Copies of this chain bind each other. A is one copy, B any other.
Amino acid sequence: MDLESFFKDNGYCPNKYSKDIGEIQTFASTHYAQKNKIVLVTSGGTAIPLESQAVRYIENFSSGHRGAASAEYFLSEGYGVIFLYRQGSLRPYSRHFKAGNVLDLLTISKDCRNGTCSNVQVDATKMPDLATIVQAYHTSKDAGRLLEVSYHSLVDYIALLKASSEAMHLLGSSAVFYLAAAVSDFYIPLTHMQKHKIQSSSGPLELALHQVPKFLRALVTKWSPQAFVVTFKLETDEAILMDKALGALTKYGHQLVIANILHERRYRVVVVTKEEQKELLLSDDEQKEKKDIEQKLIRDICIRHTHYNKGTEV
């Protein structure tokens, strides 16, 4: 199945994201004019509706931690970042608040004037790295190096990915795609869906899901053919992981697959090319210090991208 049929099959309205797509195009052409490198980071899960007025969805699990952390490290490496994320999933910098409640950091000033105590203050002792995070966020935003765009469903994700990669085409090999979103392999065509909420009184539920077309080939060969493309392979079974990663490189002809096992993903990843498999690990001490494996991963990818970018310029 081709992508146009897939968009139609999902009832996608072409104008839905025209404002966001305009911003992505402006972002790409501004950074092109400034001779900057840019990366599209995709992050979070994708929802596939089970009803046309949907109450239920099939979801691929993702908190968005990988993508949000990675975006920060790309920004600190000097990249312009388009952050395409699932609504409600973690975002760069604000992800650091997620574990607790941001309200625990805020207090009302006891130093009241005119009888009103309306002065909200930050209790920075509760989050010692807060100033660094706030500073890094504003530096990226003020420099125009971070554009955040959100999606909800699978078809929205693919439409925004297509529009982004077409907009990034002009950056050639200076563009990186870092596709960390957890994308569904299956969907239900609109014509096969119930219109209204599926009723439990109708008894057990049988679902027949169709396969999503493989859009990565279109990205690599048509939408942004010179870009440096990084994809992810998440499995639960170590036995098939490397075969799946190498299989993807052969099938799509892109540059890197980051292979990882669900339960190890926060401290171990393998950077896979056709020639080598390089394991990146957090030591026990690094895990205790809550270091991000993404810091090592993005450093590794940026070095590879610099070589790639120079190579294709010759």
A residues whose Cβ falls under 8 Å from a Cβ of B: 47, 50-51, 53-61, 63, 88, 91, 93-94, 97, 101-103, 106-108, 117-122, 124, 130-131, 133-135, 137-138, 182, 184-186, 195-198, 200, 203-212, 234-237, 262-263
Residue pair B119, A121 in contact (C-beta under 8 Å): no
17 A–B contacts, CB within 8 A, in A order: A50-B58, A53-B236, A53-B263, A54-B61, A55-B61, A55-B182, A56-B59, A88-B88, A94-B102, A102-B102, A103-B134, A120-B131, A122-B122, A197-B237, A205-B207, A207-B207, A207-B209
The smallest C-beta distance from A82 to any residue of chain B, in angstroms, reads 16
Residue pair B102, A91 in contact (C-beta under 8 Å): no
Report Cα–Cα, A283/B182, bound state, in Å. 41
Residue pair A119, B131 in contact (C-beta under 8 Å): yes
Report Cα–Cα, A141/B152, bound state, in Å. 33
Report Cα–Cα, A121/B131, bound state, in Å. 9
Report Cα–Cα, A51/B262, bound state, in Å. 12
Residue pair A120, B122 in contact (C-beta under 8 Å): yes
Residue pair B204, A208 in contact (C-beta under 8 Å): yes
Contact with A122, one of B94, B121, B200, B204 (Cβ below 8 angstroms): B121
Report Cα–Cα, A235/B130, bound state, in Å. 43
Residue pair A101, B91 in contact (C-beta under 8 Å): yes
Q: Which residues of B contact A97 (CB under 8 A)?
A: 102
